[in-house]
A = this chain, B = another copy of it.
Amino acid sequence: MIELQDIAYVRSGVADLRAAVHFATDVVGLELVASDEQGVAHLRADARHHCLALVAGRSGVLASGFTVADEDALEGAERELERRGLAVRRLDAAAARSRRVRSGIAFDDPFGNRLELVAQQEFLARPVAFGRAAGITGFGHLCLDAPDVHEAYRFWSATFNAKVSDWIGDAACLMRIDPVHHKLAVFKGDGPGLCHVNFQVASIDDVFRNWHFLVEHGVEIEMGPGRHPQSTAVFIYFLGPESFTYEYSFGVRRIEDDAAWRPRTFDPAEPGSIDMWLGPTSRPVTQPQARDGLPDGAASAAPSGAPAQVPAASLSD
């Protein structure tokens, strides 16, 4: 079994990098980290160098990254995944540099989601220079799509140290890899994709101030403000450019006594299963997995066909 240490980042391809970065910094409030890499915008939310990389090119999520303990662990994971029949590729130096990791591997989960395992993700010591005072305290979790969440659970719990924390019927499986109720979720969806990315905020006040800010700035609210009965987090989901859904939340449950926790199953058709405040609910928009050509950064000879105006990205992504 492969020990995931933490979630590391999401990489997402965007057709309009300028607009996506504007939204990520001026609306969501992330920091745009200065970089000499063209065509890639690194967005920071906490001590990690970045947890979101927007890559100029075709729209669509490119990869979701998780950390393992060190390079030996990475090698072990590589062997384990191949033993299970998955095709694994090493990230080349440019790809690793773009992700600010020492080394990494890429592979697709059985449902088509591109996953990356990496060693030694870079941290920055200086305070985050947030683009807006949204109260963000860090990268909370990421949520992927799969056609059958029970199958997805079997994959994650058999391959990794992921444990189910709660079920929302056939609609979602919420999983933990540390005491946080879920750092990884899988939602039922037709194909592979990134359902949403979550950022934790410092107080319930931040959730509500952000709600009014988003409404005033014409941002589409997908769901909330509400409160999830599973994690007890107060949430708001909103839609960024190119079908990328963001979530702010506060107050996520920590499962300190791992052995005593009993996963619960909530029927999404029952009132309150999604929002215990009983507000209207809707399924967040998923950004589909980018599927054209070869994975970025894989040690492959195939050309990536990146557009002229984002040459740096064409090298590493």
Contacts and interface: CB of A to CB of B under 8 A. Distances in A.
Interface of A: 5-6, 47, 49, 67, 69-72, 100-102, 120-127, 129, 133, 150, 153-154, 164, 167, 169, 178-179, 204-205, 208-209, 211-213, 225-227, 229, 260, 262-267, 270-273, 276-280
A72 B6 CA distance: 26
Given A213-B278, A262-B6, A272 B125 contact: yes
Determine how many copies of this chain the complex contains.
6
A213 B47 CA distance: 21
Given A164-B70, A270-B125, A208 B229 contact: no
Contacts of A164: 70
Nearest to A158: B72
Given A167-B120, A208-B226, A212-B278, A47 B264 contact: yes
B212 A277 contact: yes
Given A121-B265, A124-B273, A125-B229, A150 B69 contact: no
Given A71-B150, A204-B204, A123 B276 contact: no
A277 B69 contact: no
A167 B133 CA distance: 27
Listed residue (A101, A123, A204) with the most chain B CB atoms within 10 angstroms of its CB: A123
A262 B209 contact: no
Contact of A266 (B101, B124, B205, B279): B124
Given A124-B272, A266-B125, A277 B209 contact: yes
A265 B123 contact: yes
17 contacts: A49-B267, A70-B153, A101-B265, A120-B265, A121-B264, A122-B270, A125-B276, A126-B270, A179-B260, A205-B227, A205-B277, A208-B225, A208-B277, A211-B279, A212-B277, A212-B279, A212-B280
Nearest to A33: B270
Given A6-B262, A67-B262, A265-B102, A205 B120 contact: no
A280 B216 CA distance: 10
Contacts of A213: 278
Contacts of A226: 208
Contacts of A205: 227, 276-277
A67 B121 CA distance: 33
A219 to B, nearest CB: 15
A183 to B, nearest CB: 12
A169 B120 CA distance: 8
Given A67-B262, A70-B263, 16 more contacts: A49-B267, A49-B270, A70-B164, A120-B167, A122-B266, A123-B264, A123-B265, A124-B270, A125-B229, A125-B271, A126-B270, A126-B272, A129-B133, A205-B227, A208-B226, A208-B227
